[in-house]
Structure 1
Amino acid sequence: MSKHLRILLLMLGMLTSLCVYAESTPPLAKDKSSYPEQVALAGQTYILESARRACILRKPDQSVLTLDIPSPCHFSVGKDGQAHVEIFQNVPIVMVLHVAPMADSKPECRSQYKAIRLMKGQLEPSVLAQSASCLRGVGDQKSYTAMFDW
């Protein structure tokens, strides 16, 4: 398969993913408390907190993982209103988001996000990604898995 065809197929797949993501997104919450800030992974509770205007993840042992995402932040929201946990190859993955609306009257946002996976008992954050959209909802599995080497 030629390089140009691969790129075209990849771009088509990404466009399809964005369309699916847009169709499944709930409206922006009016206040921060409407977004999930805790999640259970492998039977342990992890909590998002703010420290010096940055988002951190508090682990069950009370240590923290710095995420390099501005606060406030929250987990991606599942259809049940709780934090969504994506499972890929038996590995749980969550998405942490910071969504900043750009205008009061239009749904224009700047978003930053990181996937975090729990692999062999260790948390592993992905690289920071950015988007010019109001990311909400579960999204597509590729959003959770593509930022890691498998």
Structure 2
Amino acid sequence: MTAPLYNTEILRLAATIPHHERLDAPMASVEKRSPVCGSRVTVDLDLDAEGRVAQLGLLVRACALGQASSSLMAAHAIGRSPEELAAARDALTGWLAGGNGPPDWPGLSLFEPALPHSARHASIRLAFEAAAEAAEAARAGRAG
């Protein structure tokens, strides 16, 4: 018997998204949308002097899986570098596509029941894609 796609932990995470308010004047803001289901996640962020995420703001309009993934990303993004966010995004994408083991990011193994449901993968990736892109844009803007 396979684990349910939507379980208590997914629903708890979906209901408790940290940093769930937009930033007033972020260094970068990126919105990602899933063409499959219409889920949308907007990530605002600021980097500190060392180039790590200092502040984060989210607007999440997604299914429970997208909300739960946003929650996990946001709970652990502060202090991460753009490279770390890009690595997490790439590892998540690879794992969902059939790669080995869940990415090295707290809690992502929770999405193992979604692996056979490729239509759900885009919403799970949204927050990580938006965060990685926003961090890179913020770094590029700081350098310019």
| TM-score scaled by length of structure 2 | 0.28
Greater Rg over alpha carbons, structure: 1
Which structure ranks higher in relative contact order (CA pairs < 8 Å, sequence separation ≥ 6)? 2
More strand by share: 1
More helix by share: 2
